Amino acid sequence: MQQSFFKFPFNPEYAMVEGLHIPTCSLAESIAQHIMLLVLTRKGENRFNPDYGNAVWDLEFDNAVTAVDWERVFEESLQEQIQQYEPRIRFAQIQVRIEYVEHTYGTKDFVEIRKKAKIGINAELTELGELFTFSTHIYLSPMSID
């Protein structure tokens, strides 16, 4: 029997209104949603658990930090967060790479160069022993999701 998990963001109204079904997702999608939350949450942002979140966001506007250092801090912090807060996977291999991307706006006369972080994770599902993969990218300074 396949387990179902609640989708993010959770809307409590679905639980209180008769006839509405709470949206669910698969185990892999639930883990991916949680990892994305770990990626985007700044350490200290969660007032109930100041240790939850990625320490890399303390470096977001520090121009003295090289891309290599930023990638290292991101990988180390995310590794720590997954080990501590995502018990459904193990042996996570994390890779983060920064690249610079030109972005042109149709309404503006200039090209903007933005930092793009590509994030990839290979791990094993703890209970099933199956491969779990996750990949995403985020744009930095100012951060946005494509």
Domain ranges for the chain: 5-145
How does the average pLDDT of the chain come out, rounded?
85
Residue 3 clears pLDDT 70, i.e. is over it? yes
Asked if 71 and 94 count as a contact pair (C-beta separation under 8 A), the reply is no
CA distance 121 to 79: 10
Q: What percentage of the chain reaches a pLDDT higher than 70?
A: 90
Residue 141 clears pLDDT 70, i.e. is over it? no
The one-letter amino acid code at 52 reads Y
Return the number of other C-beta atoms located less than 10 Å from residue 127's C-beta: 11
Q: What is the pLDDT of residues 39-95, one digit of tens each?
A: 999 998 999 999 999 988 877 666 677 889 889 989 999 999 999 999 999 999 999
CA distances (Å), origin 59, targets 5, 9, 103, 109: 33, 27, 23, 30
Lowest mean pLDDT among 55-59, 69-73, 109-113, 136-140: 109-113
Closest CA to 88 of 38, 22, 15, 21: 38
Closest CA to 12 of 41, 115, 20: 20
Burial class (CB in 10 A: 0-12, 13-18, 19+), 137: middle
What's the average model confidence in pLDDT over 113-140? 92
pTM of the entire structure?
Answer: 0.81
Give me the pLDDT at residue 56, please: 84
140 secondary structure, DSSP code: E
CATH topology of domain 5-145: Nuclear Transport Factor 2; Chain: A, (3.10.450)
